[in-house]
Structure 1
Amino acid sequence: MVLSRFWLVIFISSIVFIVVSLFTANTYTIDSVINGKKDDPILVSEKYIHELPAFIKDSIQKAPDQTMIINHDTLNADTTYVFKNKTVKIFSGLQKSDGLLPTCKSTLVDLILPLIAYLAFFCGLMELLIISGASGKLAKVLSPVFVKVFPSIPKNHPSISYMTLNFAANFLGLDSAATPFGLKAMESLQEINPDKDKASDAQIMFMCLHASGLTLIATSIIGYRAAANATNPADVMLPCIITSFIGTIAAFLIVGVKQKINFKSASLVIVLMGLIAAIVGLLMYVNHLDLIGKNYFTSNLSGLILIAIIAFTLIFSFKHEKKFTEANTTVFETFVVGANNGVKTGVTIFPYVLGMLVAISLFRNSGLFEIISDAIAFVFSNMGVSKEITNALPVAMLRPFSSAGSRGFLIDSMNTFGADSLTARLSSIFQCSAESTFYVIAVYFGSVNIKNTRYALGTMLLVDLICVITAIFVATWFF
């Protein structure tokens, strides 16, 4: 219910703002909102050529293509005058994101189709783990811990192994594998959900832990910083880990208090201390490496882990081929069945993702997001917050809505302020310390047709805020 109302507020407020801007002459045309593409020049005015200043009119008429570009601001797109059909179209600035119709197309072509391919492959592997008995063994080993965190899940339930693989994939930055494992976990949890339209306690806990974004190897962030010629592309790795770890602990505590979980459990304390020790140990190892060593380690660890998971699944399935025979199937046929289920899941979640991304597209292109962002930056600046920090806030604000959008702001901050600036480094931490909340909710709850997400959205947004505050403190501490 909360998600539905929030979606309606974003949609309706954006539409109202677009219409009002058009009729108050603040916007010349709304075609870009409907048909425009990201980074296209924005049409801001159209005039007859005799209405322009003489020097502009003469320059346009003398230009071979009857186009003139004026550099008003080196940080923004040039103002361009294009003479065609007796009028001069004036363009200035670039569109922040795709318009409504291009968003519909890109959601299917650039997002859902690749996602379906990932789902097909990894759901095929998951089916092998199920039939071979590997998932059951993993669930049995981890049950003593998971029954404390998820008391409503029966002991040795298959969802335990799916959630474990999801957390592990997120931890290692394997986004393409994390989503299929997570969707399989949600489907498994839905089987034991007494109210199919309402999110269960276990589903909410899983979603909030997943969305907190605990990441060990921020491979993509390191790649962006390397492309921007950062002195040490991996220097944000430790701040990213600290920020996302605090976000994960915050998510566990907030949801745990709500669900009255026993935090004094010895198994929980042991696992938490073991996780902290593992992170510290790995950080100490990475810290003693030189720049080339760090780049080599961070770029290969995640890939090696993924290859190891695939190899283990296939080898374990081959060793237990008898179980496939008993189930009247083969290893390959089982993979195909799982892949087919993955395709069906991808088709199911498409409308949910489409509805959310179109609303976000309108929100950004309407100009409403920038007004809110500028207002928050203004408030922070008057509170004495450094301009280097306020310049990074657009990344933090857009991250819950759109990973691609916040990534655009991240890259822009590195190009504008320099990859080694506090703004760029803080933007990097913002980008890797949490998930795209609204996208995650649309995908995961949509995959099992959950209509009432209860307090999941509020908790996830609160965790996002905690990550933002933590990132600011950590970045100023480190850099």
Structure 2
Amino acid sequence: MVLSRFWLAIFVSSIAFIIMGLFTNKYYSIDYVLNGKQNESILIGEKYLSELPQFIQDSIAVSSDKTFIVNPNVKGADTTYVYNKQTVKIYSGLQQSDGLLPMAKSSLMDIILPLIAYLAFFCGIMELLIISGASEKLAKMLSPMFAKVFPSIPKNHESISYMTLNFAANFLGLDSAATPFGLKAMQSLQELNEDKDKASDAQIMFMCLHAAGLTLIPTSIIGYRAAENAANPADVMLPCIITSFVGTIAAFLLVGAKQRINFKSISLLATLMGMIGGIIGLLFYVNTLDLIGKNYFTANLSGVLLLLIIGSTLVFSFIKEKNFIEHKTTVFDTFIVGANNGLKTGVMIFPYVMGMLVAISLFRNSGLFEIIGHGISFLFSHMGVAKEVTDSLPVALLRPFSSGGSRGFMIDAMRTFGPDSFAGRLSCIFQCSAETTFYVIAVYFGSVSIKNTRYTLGMMLLVDLICVITGVLVATWFFGLK
């Protein structure tokens, strides 16, 4: 219900703002909102050639393509004059996101189709885990701990193994594997859900823990920093781990308090302390490596572990081939069945993803998001928050809505202020330590057709806020403010 109202509020407020801007001459044309492409120039006006300053008329006259560009080397600040059929079209600025119709198309071509491919492959692997009995063994091993966090899940239930694989994939920065595992976990939890239209406590806990995005190897962030020639691309790795870990603990405590989970359990505390100890131990090891060693370690650990997961699943399936014979199938046929189920899941979640993304596209292109963002930055700057922090806030504000959009702001911050500046590093921490909340809710709850998400959205946004605050504190601790 909350998500539905929020979706409606984004659409209605954006449309109202666009129409108001058109009638108050804020916009010359709103076609870009519907049909424009990201990073294209925006049409801001049209004049007769004689109405323009003489130097622009002269420049257009001598130009072979009848075009004149002002400030061509300044990103996003250029103004382009294009002469065509007695009038001159004036373009200025860059579009922040694809228009509504291109976004509807790209949500299928650029997001759902690749996602379906990942779903097909990893759902095939998960089907092997089920038939071979590997998922049952993993569930039995982890049941004592999960019984404390998810008290409504029966002992040794298969959802335990799926959630474990999802958390592990997120932990290792394997986004392509994390989503299929997570969707399988949601489908398995839905089988236990008595009210199929309403999110269960277990599903809410799983979603909020997933939203915190506990990450060990922020591979993509390190790659972007290396591309921007950072002195030490991996220097944000430890702050990212700490920030995402704090967010994960906060999610567990907040949702656990809401669901009245017993935090005094010895096994739960032991597991938590074991995780903290393991992370600290690994961080100490990484800190003993030189720059080349760190880059080599971070570049290969995730890939090696993913190959080990796939390889061990196939080997275990071969050893337990009799289980497949008992089910009157083969290892390969089982993989095909799982892949086919993954394909069906991808098709089912497409409308949910498309509906959310086009709303966000309209919200960004209307200019309403930019106004809100500038307002928040202005407010924080007058509250005494350092400029280096407010320069990074666009990444934090956009992260729950759009991973690609916030990534663009992150790269822009590194290029504008420098990859080794406080703003550049903090932007990377924001990008790494939070989840694309609205996209994730649309995908995961859409995969099981849940309409009432209860308090999930509020909790996930609260976790995002905690990650933002923690990110600022951790970045200040590690890198300091001028």
TM range (shorter): over 0.9
Measured against aligned partners, the alpha-carbon deviations of 1:18-49 in whole angstroms (never above 9, x if no partner) come to 11111110011111111100100111111011
Write the distance in 2 (CA, Å) between the matches of 1:233 and 1:72.
30
SS in 1 for 2:96: coil
Once residues 102 and 157 of structure 1 are traced to their aligned partners in structure 2, the CA distance between those partners, rounded to angstroms, is 42
2:188: which partner in 1? 188
1:250 aligns with 250
Correspondence for 1:291: 291
Secondary structure at the aligned position of 2:429 is classed as helix
Residues 1:21 and 1:72: Cα distance change in structure 2 (over 3 Å): farther
SS at match of 1:152: coil
CA distance in 1, matches of 2:30, 2:104: 17
What corresponds to 2:369 in structure 1? 369
1:44 and 2:31 are equivalent in the alignment: no
Instruction: Specify the alignment match of 2:281 in structure 1.
Output: 281
- RMSD (Å), alpha carbons: 0.8
- Show the counterpart of 2:306: 306
Describe how 1:64-463 pairs up with structure 2 within 5 A.
Answer: 64-71=64-71, 74=74, 76-463=76-463
CA contact (8 A) 1:79 1:90 kept: yes
Check if 1:478 corresponds to 2:469: no
What is the alpha-carbon distance in structure 1 between the residues aligned to residue 423 and residue 62 of structure 2?
Answer: 43
Distance change >3 Å, CA 352–CA 126, structure 1 → 2: same
Q: 1:73 to 1:17 in 2, by over 3 A?
A: farther
Matched residue count: 479
**Equivalent residue letter for 1:7:** W
SS in 2 for 1:45: strand
Once structures 1 and 2 are overlaid, which stretch shifts more, 122-131 or 74-83? 74-83
Aligned equivalents of 1:74, 1:313: Cα separation in 2: 52
- TM-score of the pair, normalised by structure 1: 0.99
TM-superposition CA deviations, 1:150-189 (whole Å, max 9, x none): 0000000000000000000000000000000000000000
1:203 is displaced (CA, Å) by: 0.2
Aligned partner letter, 1:147 = A
What is the distance in 2 between the residues matched to 1:426 and 1:280?
Answer: 22
Quick check: 1:80–1:90 contact (8 Å CA) kept in 2?
yes
The code of the aligned residue for 1:364 comes to R
The 2-side partners of 1:421 and 1:284 are apart by 25
Q: Distance in 1 between matches of 2:409 and 2:391?
A: 10
**Alpha-carbon deviation of 1:75?**
5.1
- What's the TM-score, normalizing by structure 2? 0.99
Distance 1:418 1:75 in 2: 15
Q: Judge conservation of contact 1:430–1:468 (CA < 8 Å) in 2.
A: yes
Separation (CA, whole Å) in 2 of partners of 1:140 and 1:316: 17
By how many angstroms is 1:201 displaced? 0.2
Distance across 1 between alignment mates of 2:75 and 2:450: 45
* Separation in structure 2 between the aligned mates of residue 102 and residue 476 of structure 1, nearest angstrom: 40
Q: Secondary structure at the match of 2:47?
A: strand
Query: 1:396-454, CA deviations, whole angstroms, 9 ceiling, x for partnerless residues?
Result: 00000000110010111111111111111000000000110000000000000000000
Distance in 2 between the 1:11 and 1:282 partners?
A: 45
CA deviations 1:67-118 (Å, max 9, x no partner) are 1111299353311111111101111110001001110111001100000000
* 1:283 partner amino acid: L
* Contact preservation (8 Å) 1:75, 1:416: no
Structure 1: state its 5+ residue gaps: none
Structure 2 gaps of 5+ residues are: none
Separation in structure 2 between the aligned mates of residue 280 and residue 77 of structure 1, nearest angstrom: 46
* Percent sequence identity over aligned pairs: 75
TM-superposed CA distance for 1:133, in Å, is 0.2
Letter in 2 for 1:468: V
Q: Aligned to 1:206, what secondary structure does the other structure show?
A: helix
